[in-house]
Chains A and B, each alone.
Chain A
Amino acid sequence: MTMAKHPHQICTFKLGDTLFGVDVTNVQEVIRYQEMTSVPLAPAIIRGLINLRGQIVTAIDMRACLGLPPHAEQLPMNVVVRTGDGVASLLVDEIGDVLQPDESCFERVPETIVGVLRELVTGVYKLDHSLLLLLDVERLMSSIPMGHQTEAA
């Protein structure tokens, strides 16, 4: 059996040239680009709000989150994830396959990687043609800088 850290199946997506993945059990669905309503005053990584069949879901700009420049012409795809804090949508460039990489090719994040990536990535899978960075969704969600807490009635 695998440890909790190593999910059986990983939903992958691309940001620029890098392949990322999240535990498939966190993923509610993958949908194409949705119209968004921007939220004034919100941190830059919150791109807007999506109407997901009547539920209002916050869309998180993964490019902004990882410090990548915004994509010029392509519309992002939505990876809708479920966390302890509720549902959110990760905006990514391209959706990849659901992979089931072998546990043996998992490695911790190399020490040379610093910054945001180090905080959000739990490890790296060495695939045949590329590397797959495994994102921790819970950590991602709790890393979003919250506005000063005021009483929301």
Chain B
Amino acid sequence: MSADDEILREFLLESSEGLNQLDRDFVELERDPADRNRLGAIFRCIHTIKGASGFLALHRLEAVAHAGESLLSRLRNGDFLFDGAMTSALLAMVDAIRAILGRLDASGIEGDERYEQVVAALTALTNASPTVSDAPLAVEPASTTPPDDVSALFPPRAPVPVEHEHAPPTQLLETPMLPTTLPPTSTDPPASSPARADALADSGDAAQTRGSPISDSAIRVDVGLLDRVMNLVGELVLARNQILQFGATVKDAGFANASQRLNLLTTELQEGVMKTRMQPIGNVWNKFPRVVRDLAQTCGKRINLELDGTETELDRTIIEAIKDPLTHAVRNAIDHGIETPEARLAAGKTETGRLLLRAFHEGGQVNIEISDDGAGIDVGRIRSRAIERGVVTAERAARMNDREILYLIFHPGFSTAAKVTNVSGRGVGMDVVKTNIERIGGTVDVHTRVGFGTTLKIKIPLTLAIIPALIVTSSNNRFAIPQVSLLELVRLEGGTTNRAIESLHGTSVYRLRGNLLPLVFLDHALQLPRASTSVDAISIVVVQADDRQFGLVVDGISDTEEIVVKPLGKELKGLAGFAGATIMGDGRVALILDVLGIAQRSNVVSASRERTIVDKTAAGPARQEEREALLLFRLGRDGRMALPLSLVARLEEIPLSAVERAGGRDVVQYRGAILPLIDVRQLFGVAGSGAADGPLQVIVYSEHGRSVGLVVDQILDAVEALLSCRQHVGGEGTLGSAVVQGKVTDILDVHGVIRRAAPGFFAQEAA
């Protein structure tokens, strides 16, 4: 009994893998009917299902698969050519098979549905050609009972066969006839056959499960086991952190070596295990060709779907989480983004719309872009509709810029109006897309050009289990703030503290580069006893929750750390303000702050402001007469320089002891990679003024996943200044100078300096 169950389970698993690939194969085949390799792969998949269902005595399934196989067999023999009607019929067959498999999975029985209409349509198509099919058909004649499971798009296509009675002969001449290249029956074709090899090359793992020698190199592993292994690695990371912390207090070379080795191995193991849980995003995208085809037919549009970066890998938990939002976004693009063929022609575009799904890794995150070349979003219309819907007041809308208006499409109240979507281009459930993406720590952005199309940019973290976080203290409690919600850190020292923080209606605000930043005192928000009142220095962690920014005032800021996210017990789930807990290097527990929850608790309301601190695209040489955020730093005793804040990835304090030599250059180990150091002081011939053994002040600059550290004497401030650059005033290595806080300050030419000191940095990029 259990052996039978086992076989059935195996069959269901293999078949569903095969079916997912089929959807995509059929749509591809419709586009390129001459692709015999793909046809062969489809045939083998259906043949396998048929064979297994006969063996397992699943007669309904066998009948459906058999009808499909007969048609495919004739197609494969070149009797006639694949077209839209056949695609629909065969896709209906796939749906029928999937429905039967679904019932088998749920209840273990096939059910009573016979799918006669599906079978009849397939049979009709099979017999349509002048030559009578030689395949025996074990099917009953079509009955009038309408099938309830079959996809709705199918019935109207049933009477099509007539139209391609004349089509095959002409087409056949163009298509090379190669029945001999394929084995007469497709059971276990040799893996070396070119057809097989090609199918494997472009269709990935779906074909691998059918007993080819290639499958020897891959095994199936229970997801639960992987999850357990992942948890264990999480534990190991924590234990490693503890040992490293302990190692810092022990002066023993042997121990230091061993713990260093443990450190490296753990990092590698963590990466390795992470990889086992990775799945290509293609697994989600597989169904899109079908979705796009069906929806395009329903909407009467012509759409060409392009997938780029299907091999981009993501943690499986994230894959699960993005399935629905992505589908939603794709449907939106088709429904509202791309115009009808007539409208496109009128606009001077090609009849067929283009929908591009693109995925790629960047900066430890995965970027997914959904672009169409449709009508774009008309900001003016959104503005008027939003006022109409009461989403914003007319007065407020007048003060909002285009970008802010555009973001209203993510507003929950906005998208409920069906009418809005018809005029605006997008909007149905975009708030759902945004919420779902943000739930897993991602961000959604939208770019649009009226008449040229819309691009939805989604950024999501690689994994949820281990995340980088900033550790802060408040009233002697440690808290972790996930790095994704961090914008910047501000430290106020000495007498400036009281002046800088102003009171507005009982709430505190801080002027951050001219903008009011609402402040939340973390100890107050969490009802902690106020710690010792040494207010000579205040640390503000500027965070982003939703689209609002606010400053969390904490007592101290420690380090950033990779933390392992652990859930809180059920009895604490209801607490707003905490996203989970983690175990720190010393073995104690620290809570992970839920920035959004804190914001809600503290009623932080702040209009979203146009700020581009984290927007790296703003990076570039300073332009004439433009206000720009600058990072001020000191070189030597009193040399002041600045560089655009947009070029600064992070600021670090690195102990001298951590500096090592590699390739004739000072380097440090930094976040699991090697960070080359460029001593700006040396470049400008300034003697370092800091204490000889004090920690190095390092400005980290990142580009394309690589970083360099610029060593300076002291980080002074972040300011916004009017740039009036005069080239070459400051000599080589500077972009010019600006008046900052009443003093002339040279602007560092970051690119030039890096190019000079580390020529390899940009060379790699060109390669």
Give A residues with C-beta under 8 Å from B.
35-42, 46, 48-51, 54-58, 85-88, 141, 144, 146-150, 152-153
Contact = CB atoms under 8 A, between A and B. Distances in A.
A40 B526 contact: yes
A3 B591 CA distance: 42
11 contacts: A37-B591, A40-B577, A49-B568, A51-B583, A51-B589, A56-B566, A56-B583, A88-B569, A141-B571, A147-B572, A147-B574
B526 A41 contact: yes
Given A48-B589, A56-B581, A146-B573, 14 more contacts: A37-B478, A39-B578, A40-B527, A40-B577, A41-B527, A41-B576, A49-B589, A49-B591, A50-B589, A54-B235, A57-B569, A85-B571, A88-B571, A152-B568
Interface in B109-161: none
A91 B211 CA distance: 58
A85 B569 contact: yes
B415 to A, nearest CB: 19
B528 A40 contact: yes
Contacts of B67: none
B570 interface: yes
B401 interface: no
Given A41-B527, A54-B583, A86 B577 contact: no
Nearest to B464: A153
B540 interface: no
Q: Interface SS of chain A: helix, strand, loop or mixed? A: loop
Contacts of A37: 477-478, 581, 588-591
B587 interface: yes
B577 A41 contact: yes
A40 B574 CA distance: 13
Contacts of B579: 152-153
Contacts of B234: 54
B571 A150 contact: no
A28 to B, nearest CB: 14
A153 B589 CA distance: 20
Contacts of A41: 526-527, 575-577
Contacts of A148: 574, 576
Contacts of A46: 571-572
B576 A42 contact: no
A147 B576 contact: yes
B668 interface: no
A39 B591 contact: yes
Q: Interface SS of chain B: helix, strand, loop or mixed? A: mixed
A86 B568 CA distance: 10
B566 A149 contact: no
B238 interface: yes
Interface of B: 234-235, 238-239, 439-440, 477-478, 526-528, 566-579, 581, 583, 587-591, 594, 597
A44 to B, nearest CB: 12
Contact of B574 (A48, A86, A146, A153): A146
B574 A149 contact: yes
Nearest to A83: B570
B588 A35 contact: yes
Contacts, number: 91
B520 to A, nearest CB: 13
A146 B570 CA distance: 9
Contacts of A88: 569, 571
A13 B574 CA distance: 30
B572 A39 contact: yes
Nearest to B236: A54
A61 to B, nearest CB: 13
A150 B572 CA distance: 11
A74 B579 CA distance: 32
A25 B579 CA distance: 32
Nearest to A153: B439
A49 B581 contact: yes
Identify the interface centre among B568, B569, B579: most chain A CB within 10 Å of its CB: B569
Contacts of A85: 569-571
A96 B573 CA distance: 32
Nearest to A50: B589
A18 to B, nearest CB: 24
A144 B571 contact: yes
Nearest to A49: B589
Given A37-B589, A49-B581, A54-B583, A150 B597 contact: yes
A153 B577 contact: no
Nearest to A144: B571
A56 B477 contact: no
Contacts of B589: 36-37, 48-51, 56
Identify the interface centre among B576, B578, B581, B589: most chain A CB within 10 Å of its CB: B589
Contacts of B583: 51, 54, 56
Identify the interface centre among B234, B572, B573: most chain A CB within 10 Å of its CB: B572
A46 B591 CA distance: 14
Nearest to B474: A40
A58 to B, nearest CB: 4
Contacts of B574: 146-150
A36 B477 CA distance: 11
Nearest to A151: B439
A29 to B, nearest CB: 17
Contacts of A147: 572, 574-576
Given A39-B578, A51-B583, A152 B573 contact: yes
A39 B440 CA distance: 24
Contacts of B567: 56
Q: Which 10 A-B pairs have the closest CB atoms?
A: A147-B574, A40-B526, A37-B589, A49-B589, A146-B574, A54-B235, A58-B569, A147-B575, A144-B571, A150-B576
Nearest to B587: A51
A15 B566 CA distance: 31
B571 A58 contact: yes
A81 B594 CA distance: 28
Contacts of A38: 477
A103 B234 CA distance: 46
Contacts of A141: 571
Contacts of A152: 568, 573, 579, 594
A54 B238 CA distance: 8
Contact of B568 (A50, A56, A150): A56
Nearest to A148: B574
Identify the interface centre among B526, B528, B571: most chain A CB within 10 Å of its CB: B571
B555 to A, nearest CB: 14
A56 B577 contact: no
Contacts of A51: 583, 587-589
